[in-house]
Amino acid sequence: RQCQNWFARFRSGDFSLKNAQRSGRPVEVDETRIKAIIDSDRHSTTRDIAEKLNLSHTCIEKNLKKQI
């Protein structure tokens, strides 16, 4: 199915490899709050931080990777 989707995109003239915009509100992450949590407890996991900020742990992981 994945290949069919790519072939359909290319046939329609869309040669971009980026994902299309998705519906829904983008997640807003307060980087200063993440940093404050890490500074207060260096052993915090992404799941701990996510629970405190009511976000997914993958959202926290992506944000931390972006900061590095």
Please give the pLDDT value at position 37: 94
CB 9 within 8 A of CB 24: no
- Residue 67 binned pLDDT confidence (cut-offs 50, 70, 90): confident
- Residue 28 binned pLDDT confidence (cut-offs 50, 70, 90): confident
* Domain ranges for the chain: 26-67
Angle at the Cα of 67 from the Cα atoms of 26 and 39, rounded to 5 degrees: 105
In this structure, what token pair is assigned to residue 20? 């299309």
Please give the average per-residue pLDDT across 12-17, as a whole number: 84
Output the CA–CA distances (angstroms, integers) from residue 18 to 5, 30, 39, 40, 53, in the order listed.
13, 26, 35, 37, 29
Give the CA count within 13 Å in the CB-facing half-sphere of 20: 7
pTM of the model: 0.60
Which CATH code of 1.20.120, 1.20.1260, 1.10.10, 1.20.1540 fits the domain covering 26-67? Answer: 1.10.10
| Residue 41 pLDDT exceeds 90 | yes
| Residue 20 pLDDT exceeds 80 | no
